[in-house]
Structure 1
């Protein structure tokens, strides 16, 4: 048994016009999530949990949930700003979500098996789903350490032609073990390769073959219990900071530094794409069109 958890709570309060995660990108009105779920079912996942906001439930089920439930078990978890551990209250001025760590924490009690986590608005490709599923199916305990995995994408395969992006650039051992994640902002695609421009004017060249995290992880269910404890500590220190976020890459990085987790990086050569900028939509539509022409996907999914 393995579950796909899709983080979709940040899709906004209005469906359709302008909400990038729900923009049709396939020839029959498919959205990016349709393709991710199709790949996950093919790889062997048997349940999907959508993390959404409670106020989106009715519309969300209408747009995707009810269709998908005919093909795979579907559950919902709800990420809310005021869903905090006992003793904590959301600052009145806080409007920013608490982050991906709180999103996964909302699955407490609903996910009791190994699970993969993805973003709602990213296309990851088939290879990553197969590798993460196989890891979760075959992973053994690693003593007292958590035994997780991460799909590692080549930096050069994850850039946008329409602006800068943020990527978790990974430090990976020769054995394929994650040593750390460096959240790198302002990565720009150029003919000479990816670069970052510092405020001082310095230009740093990045290796296009570097492994980066696109927030596709494989976890064991005990990670959710760990998140519960760490969220309490986070709120004690940063609960009044209106912009502070409880983020999965930072939590995983902390666990590695504390020698409490081993994370295997599963390299994939698939090309990531997503709608980071409005102008990206045409690229995504054309990319799916080509994949359908190549026979990777049927022209209609889940209809």
Structure 2
């Protein structure tokens, strides 16, 4: 393994409940040697030059993750936990929220917000239950080290991210000259007789076959936390009483792309398209297929 460590942090969003999957996907042993997706990502990040990881989790996962990762990480790679708490909210929005009615996390934007006191430099942000491939982490490390203020994203062709067992949610992207122009969270994307369709703003719409999507594979600088605080506060004021509403990172990123003022310069989000396939489990029926794909992919290494 490489010893050329950079000051890069990998933030892994691992607090999800896996409601459609029926359990904690972040602990599912899907790799050829019983690895979790989380373990595979940690190893890929280390090899790409990341020096530390912050895992955003629910408190009840601590002991299970300790056991799952025991002896698996390099000595010069640090890993710490950050608890995602339902009541860890921006002060300006607390009066709009009924936490007592809430049973699930507030979404990926809140998950990253939870890590704000643990990260002080460039960071990659991924999901714990997805497999991104080694090249994605190399692209993230390269992009985060190349520009002082730019953010970045590793995108995936939409056709490589679908499930045969039901609809999926994806951040659909518009990219021009390698820069992100627009990203919006589409729900229940699936392949139907008429082609790919998904739900945006409660409307069922067609999706182009060559679209690229965000799979929560981002590269940010610490200014992301200020943007999350602002946009998450707006979200809570509008949706704080809704027990299932979630604030997504693509929504936060899009708000910053759209921001135009005398005090803010335009934000550049560079986009690299992944060189390897993405694998993930949304439904229990996806497990055997993902295990087979990971066996084929990782046996080539």
Residues 4/281 of structure 1: CA separation in 2 closer, same or farther (3 Å cut): same
Q: 2:143 aligns with which of 127, 135, 139?
A: 135
Residue equivalent to 1:243: 244
Q: Is 2:124 aligned against 1:116?
A: yes
1:98 CA drift (Å):
1.1
Residue equivalent to 2:222: 221
Q: Cα RMSD over matched residues?
A: 2.5
Q: Is 2:166 aligned against 1:163?
A: yes
Asked if the contact 1:156/1:193 (under 8 Å) is kept, the reply is no
Q: Deviations over 1:280-299 (max 9, x none)?
A: 111111112112331x2xxx
Asked if the contact 2:231/2:255 (under 8 Å) is kept, the reply is no
Asked if the contact 1:82/1:90 (under 8 Å) is kept, the reply is no
Residues 92/263 of structure 1: CA separation in 2 closer, same or farther (3 Å cut): same
Partner Cα separation in structure 2 for residue 189 and residue 235 of structure 1: 33
Residue equivalent to 1:37: 42
Asked if the contact 1:160/1:189 (under 8 Å) is kept, the reply is no
Q: Is 2:53 aligned against 1:48?
A: yes
Residue equivalent to 1:58: 63
Q: 1:23 aligns with which of 12, 19, 28?
A: 28
Residue equivalent to 2:153: 150
Secondary structure at the residue paired with 1:215? strand
Partner Cα separation in structure 2 for residue 104 and residue 91 of structure 1: 19
Q: Deviations over 1:38-94 (max 9, x none)?
A: 111111111110000123222222222663364611111110112223472643211
Partner Cα separation in structure 2 for residue 47 and residue 106 of structure 1: 17
Residues 19/169 of structure 1: CA separation in 2 closer, same or farther (3 Å cut): same
Return the TM-score normalized by structure 1.
0.84
Q: 1:172 aligns with which of 157, 171, 175?
A: 175
Residues 115/193 of structure 1: CA separation in 2 closer, same or farther (3 Å cut): farther
Q: Is 2:289 aligned against 1:287?
A: no
Residue equivalent to 1:183: 185
Partner Cα separation in structure 1 for residue 168 and residue 89 of structure 2: 31
1:18 CA drift (Å):
4.3
Residues 197/167 of structure 1: CA separation in 2 closer, same or farther (3 Å cut): closer
1:186 CA drift (Å):
2.6
Q: Is 2:298 aligned against 1:278?
A: no
Residue equivalent to 1:301: none
1:247 CA drift (Å):
1.6
Partner Cα separation in structure 1 for residue 74 and residue 128 of structure 2: 17
Partner Cα separation in structure 2 for residue 238 and residue 39 of structure 1: 37
1:101 CA drift (Å):
1.1
Residue equivalent to 1:4: 10
Partner Cα separation in structure 2 for residue 221 and residue 76 of structure 1: 18
Asked if the contact 1:125/1:271 (under 8 Å) is kept, the reply is yes
Asked if the contact 2:43/2:73 (under 8 Å) is kept, the reply is no
Residues 203/232 of structure 1: CA separation in 2 closer, same or farther (3 Å cut): closer
Return the TM-score normalized by structure 2.
0.85
Residues 265/85 of structure 1: CA separation in 2 closer, same or farther (3 Å cut): same
Secondary structure at the residue paired with 1:129? helix
Asked if the contact 1:150/1:213 (under 8 Å) is kept, the reply is yes
